[in-house]
């Protein structure tokens, strides 16, 4: 696939991070699909992620992929706690590489928010009775025995030894991601999962070196990033997703995230993926009102104050909006989630909307000629007045 040159839209200018070059600034955000079996990727995942690769995104990230068997968000989510998970993930990476894209794996430990229903069933925590009947070896763990909300059971408080073991599990997962030929790994430190619960003074009431001060509450995230960076090739980028504001009053806020982002940068994290919310099932902070690009200011603030690359996400709908974010220096990358589900070819349509001079030139070669031929016919019909917009399929 061709690249738009340096004079084109900033959204379509390449970005090199370490030894990896993204062909544009568009990333597919992690989205749980609840279609794995024992953590293993299925044909569904190849098609699901593959369509975004063909759609022109530079980088496609997996849903949160569990580093331990008991750390799944949902029973049927992806895992990377075993070498058995490598072939299925490698199959997707190989497809991405064969079609001009990059593949990334988001490493996650759900902590006290382990094991919920699929979103289409409500997404609520699975009850203890349901978990017992499921036969899975489940645990909910956290920094302190404080439940994530009214539907969640009280988690087990982790010992120091268990904390260290989880950090090592992240590092082992990074090695497996490399074996799966992933180009990027992202650490999920947001949305109320394990690392985020350590960060929050509401969820973390420990009195040892992992609790109390902000520095102590950041320790698990910092140690995990350090271990993963050591295990992950120096030539490959490391991302970290933060809930820049975690969604609860008197908890973790943007100023805290600026400090953490700087510390993660110093440990070798290359990109901060700026999300928000999720500490509990109730969002109680007024500044989390959802609107167009509502999380972009977080990416802009962290980028300006730390110098680290940032990724913006959250109700980014139009090519013009995405271009303005990158061209205006608010973020270096734009991540699409639900909008990409609606329109998997959004990046390629965006290139056309922003003035790609070679109409359909960025599209997969298997599609390009068909579309260019059809466009010539449509242009002729339009010139003849034989094509009315209302007659076209939306």
Q: Which residues are catalytic?
A: 193
DSSP code string of 159-214: PHHHHHHHHHHHHHHHHHHHHTT-SEEEEEE-TTSHHHHHH-TTT----STTSSSH
CB-based burial, 314-330: b 16+ in 10 Å, e otherwise: bebeebeebbbbbeeeb
DSSP 351: H
- Distance from C-alpha of 326 to C-alpha of 330, rounded to nearest angstrom: 6
Q: How many CB atoms lie within 10 A of CB 48?
A: 21
Beta strands in 18-171 (DSSP E): 20-22, 26-28, 59-66, 102-108, 141-142, 156-157
SS3 track for 288-329: HCCCCCCCHHHHHHHHHHHCCEEEEECCCCCHHHHHHHHHCC
- Distance from C-alpha of 82 to C-alpha of 40, rounded to nearest angstrom: 10
- Distance from C-alpha of 63 to C-alpha of 89, rounded to nearest angstrom: 12
For residue 333, list its beta bridge partners. 311
Shortest CA distance to 152 belongs to which of 187, 192, 196? 192
The tokens of 287 are what? 């500044």
For residue 41, give the H/E element and its range: none
Torsion of CA 136, 220, 308, 7, to 10 degrees: -10
């Amino acid at each position: 696939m061709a690249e738009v040159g340096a004079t084109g839209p900033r959204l379509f200018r390449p970005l090199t991070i370490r030894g990896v070059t993204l062909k544009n600034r568009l990333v597919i955000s992690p989205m749980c699909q609840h279609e794995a079996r024992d953590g293993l990727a299925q044909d569904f995942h190849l098609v699901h992620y593959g369509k975004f690769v063909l759609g022109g995104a530079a980088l496609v990230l997996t849903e949160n992929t569990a580093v331990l068997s008991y750390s799944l968000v949902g029973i049927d989510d992806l895992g990377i706690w075993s070498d058995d998970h490598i072939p299925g993930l490698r199959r997707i990476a190989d497809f991405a590489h064969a079609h001009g894209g990059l593949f990334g794996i988001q490493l996650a430990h759900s902590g006290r928010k382990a094991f919920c229903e699929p979103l289409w069933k409500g997404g609520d925590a699975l009850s203890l009775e349901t978990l017992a009947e499921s036969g899975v070896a489940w645990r909910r763990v956290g920094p302190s025995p404080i439940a994530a909300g009214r539907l969640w059971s009280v988690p087990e408080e982790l010992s120091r030894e268990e904390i260290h073991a989880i950090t090592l599990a992240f590092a082992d997962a990074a090695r497996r991601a490399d074996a799966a030929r992933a180009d990027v790994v992202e650490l999920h430190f947001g949305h109320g999962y394990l690392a985020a619960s350590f960060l929050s003074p509401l969820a973390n009431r420990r009195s040892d070196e992992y609790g109390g001060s902000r520095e102590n509450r950041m320790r698990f995230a910092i140690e995990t990033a350090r271990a993963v960076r050591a295990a992950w090739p120096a030539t490959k980028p490391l991302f970290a997703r933060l809930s820049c504001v975690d969604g609860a009053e008197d908890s973790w806020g943007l100023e805290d995230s600026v400090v953490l982002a700087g510390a993660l940068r110093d440990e070798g994290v290359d990109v901060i993926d700026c999300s928000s919310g999720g500490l509990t099932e109730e969002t109680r902070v007024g500044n989390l009102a959802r609107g167009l690009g509502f999380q972009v200011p977080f990416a802009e603030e962290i980028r300006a104050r730390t110098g680290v690359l940032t990724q913006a996400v959250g109700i980014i709908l139009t090519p013009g909006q995405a271009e303005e974010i990158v061209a205006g220096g608010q973020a270096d990358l734009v991540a699409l989630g639900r909008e990409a589900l609606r329109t998997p070819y959004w990046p390629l349509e965006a290139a056309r909307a922003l003035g790609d001079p070679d109409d359909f030139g960025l599209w997969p070669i298997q599609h390009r000629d068909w579309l260019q031929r059809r466009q010539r016919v449509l242009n002729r019909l339009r010139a003849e007045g034989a094509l009315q917009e209302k007659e076209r399929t939306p």
